[in-house]
């Protein structure tokens, strides 16, 4: 009896210790419903009923796994997944990578036995690293929904990345504070409305005057902190860097697309470094945080400063609206929040608009089973063409989706998205295309960001920064050859 008990307990111990490691393997049993990956939501209602009544024996081959890039909206995806599962019975596992860690997370998740079936690539450069894992989507309905097919990532005949959101960024400003400034009687400039601010010189004059009057305006600084904490520098080494490189690559007339020109560049001149410095210095010198402390600030800190009314302007994109409105104690009203293009002192910038583009392309894992691929594509098609999916996209995710399945009244309702659309459609204004998809690698951006931090802290000169940018572009581009 005792012997038996001992053996029983040891076996239980073994099983227990090994079970924790192999949970994923156990869910690989195939179900009978793997052929029910329909895309229409009407008949999937019956399927859903069948599956739920059979007590959770749904096949793991119908469980799709989406690795999300945007932490700002991860909770919305959880709701979407729950709704989709209720409607179709297909389980959508959503996992969100922390800010700045998408590549690492994707790299480790995709090598596992249950890899992501839907993941993101950031453009042609991202496609290069992941091309062995991207499925050809040219025959899918999802691709046919794209209103501008040239936006997709292609290679030869195949389509491998479908953009799902058009976004724009620029200088977000709180018009209430700007109006207060324009109402000041002792101000040094003669500008009386934001419409007159259409180049760098005017912007600089207004900002510096506001800094001089900051106590009267009730702000701690004009701009929010230039967040330079590790992993939080993307607004400067990617978004702001877009402008000088856009203009530099535009001069390359061999290509009609600045991304292609950038991808072909093995070296860069960083011709418009001075323009970058213009606006960067303006941000840093008129900030609500002293220079030495910027290395400890994150993007959340900056957005909170703007939301609480401590500053009047912050550089960010239309995705930031949910961040701003979600801050406790937010004082920025929907009708006061507007966009201004990022002026850097370029000739003709009176006609420059916001920076519009996308860095978010969906890719389907070519190495998972066909059922999972079909289920994943079906989920995406549901999200962007069904009534319920589109309402999520419009109201909660706040995406400006580049699909022709969206009617006029289904465009997003948040104020920043409407501003982006307004600037995109303004007469005489050309948007700046997102060119940073052509940057050589994540490391290049990190080197740039690190150099900026040292410049701000005074341990590097601006010429050092320019050297770092040119050298790291060259060496990182060489690695991809």
Partner 1 sequence: MVKRKARYFPVFVLPTLTAFMIAFLIPFIMGIFLSFTKFTTVLDAKWVGFQNYIDAFSNKEFLNALWFTVKFAIVSVITINVLSFILALILTRNIKGTNLFRTVFFMPNLIGGIVLGYIWQVIINGVLYKYGVSLTFKPEYGFWGLTILMNWQMIGYMMVIYIAGIQNVPRDLIEAARIDGAGSFKILTKIIIPLVMPAITICLFLTMSNSFKLFDQNLALTAGAPSKKTAMLALDIYNTFYGSVGSEGIGQAKAVVFFLIVGLVAIIQLKLTRKREVEN
Q: Which residues bind partner 1 (CB under 8 A)?
A: 6-7, 10, 13-14, 17-18, 21, 103-104, 107, 110-111, 128-129, 132, 228, 230-231, 290-296, 441-443, 446-447, 450-451, 453-454, 457, 459, 476, 479-480
CB nearer to partner 1: pick between 242 and 289: 289
In the complex, the smallest distance separating the C-beta of residue 17 from partner 1, rounded to whole angstroms, is 5
In the complex, the smallest distance separating the C-beta of residue 337 from partner 1, rounded to whole angstroms, is 30
Q: Are 131 and 123 in contact (CB under 8 A)?
A: no
In the complex, the smallest distance separating the C-beta of residue 354 from partner 1, rounded to whole angstroms, is 30
CB nearer to partner 1: pick between 339 and 447: 447
First to last CA, the chain: 69
CA distance 354 to 463: 28
At 111, list the tokens. 């090598």
In the complex, the smallest distance separating the C-beta of residue 81 from partner 1, rounded to whole angstroms, is 26
In the complex, the smallest distance separating the C-beta of residue 303 from partner 1, rounded to whole angstroms, is 19
CB nearer to partner 1: pick between 236 and 343: 236
CB nearer to partner 1: pick between 251 and 464: 464
CB nearer to partner 1: pick between 97 and 142: 97
In the complex, the smallest distance separating the C-beta of residue 247 from partner 1, rounded to whole angstroms, is 26
In the complex, the smallest distance separating the C-beta of residue 266 from partner 1, rounded to whole angstroms, is 16
Judged by phi (left if over 0) then psi (alpha if -120 to 50, else beta), residue 398 lies in left
CB nearer to partner 1: pick between 118 and 228: 228
CB nearer to partner 1: pick between 106 and 432: 106
């Amino acid at each position: 009896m005792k012997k038996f008990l001992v053996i029983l307990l040891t076996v239980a111990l073994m099983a227990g210790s090994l079970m924790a490691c192999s949970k994923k393997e156990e869910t690989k049993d195939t179900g009978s419903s793997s052929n029910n990956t329909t895309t229409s939501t009407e008949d999937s209602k019956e399927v859903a009923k069948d599956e739920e009544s059979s007590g959770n024996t749904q096949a793991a081959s119908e469980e799709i796994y989406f690795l999300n890039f945007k932490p700002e909206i991860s909770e919305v995806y959880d709701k979407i997944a729950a709704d989709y599962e209720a409607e179709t019975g297909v389980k959508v596992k959503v996992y969100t990578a922390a800010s700045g860690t998408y590549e690492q997370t994707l790299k480790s998740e995709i090598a596992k036995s249950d890899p992501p079936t839907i993941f993101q690539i950031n453009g042609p450069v991202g496609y290069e690293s992941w091309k062995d894992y991207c499925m050809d989507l040219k025959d899918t309905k999802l691709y046919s929904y794209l209103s501008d097919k040239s936006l997709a990532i292609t290679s030869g005949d195949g389509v491998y990345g479908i953009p799902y959101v058009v976004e724009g960024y620029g200088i977000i400003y709180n018009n209430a504070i700007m109006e207060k400034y324009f109402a000041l009687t002792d101000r040094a400039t003669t500008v009386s409305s934001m419409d007159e601010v259409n180049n760098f010189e005017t912007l600089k004059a207004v900002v510096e005057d506001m800094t001089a009057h900051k106590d009267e305006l009730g702000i701690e600084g004009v701009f929010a902190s230039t967040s330079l904490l590790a992993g939080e520098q993307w607004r400067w080494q990617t978004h702001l860097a877009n402008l000088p490189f856009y203009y530099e690559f535009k001069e390359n007339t061999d290509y009609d697309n600045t991304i292609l020109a950038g991808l072909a560049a093995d070296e860069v001149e960083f011709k418009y470094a001075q323009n970058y410095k213009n606006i960067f210095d303006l941000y840093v010198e008129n900030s609500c945080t002293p220079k030495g402390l910027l290395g400890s600030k994150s993007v959340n800190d900056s957005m909170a400063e703007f939301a609480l009314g401590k500053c009047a302007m912050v550089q960010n994109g239309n995705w930031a609206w949910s961040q701003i409105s979600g801050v406790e104690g937010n004082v920025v009203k929907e009708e006061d929040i507007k966009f201004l293009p990022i002026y850097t002192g370029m000739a003709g910038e009176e006609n420059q608009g916001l920076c519009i583009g996308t860095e978010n392309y969906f890719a389907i894992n070519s190495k998972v089973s066909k059922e999972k691929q079909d289920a994943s594509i079906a989920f995406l098609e549901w999200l962007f063409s069904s009534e319920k999916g589109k309402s999520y996209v419009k109201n909660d995710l706040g995406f400006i989706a580049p699909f022709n399945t969206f009617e006029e009244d289904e465009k997003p309702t948040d104020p920043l998205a409407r501003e982006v659309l307004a600037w995109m459609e303004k007469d005489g204004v050309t948007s700046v295309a997102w060119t940073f998809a052509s940057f050589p690698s994540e490391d290049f951006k990190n080197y740039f960001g690190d150099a900026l931090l040292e410049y701000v802290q005074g341990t590097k000169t601006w010429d050092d920064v320019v050297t770092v940018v040119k050298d790291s572009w060259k060496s990182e581009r060489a690695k991809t050859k």
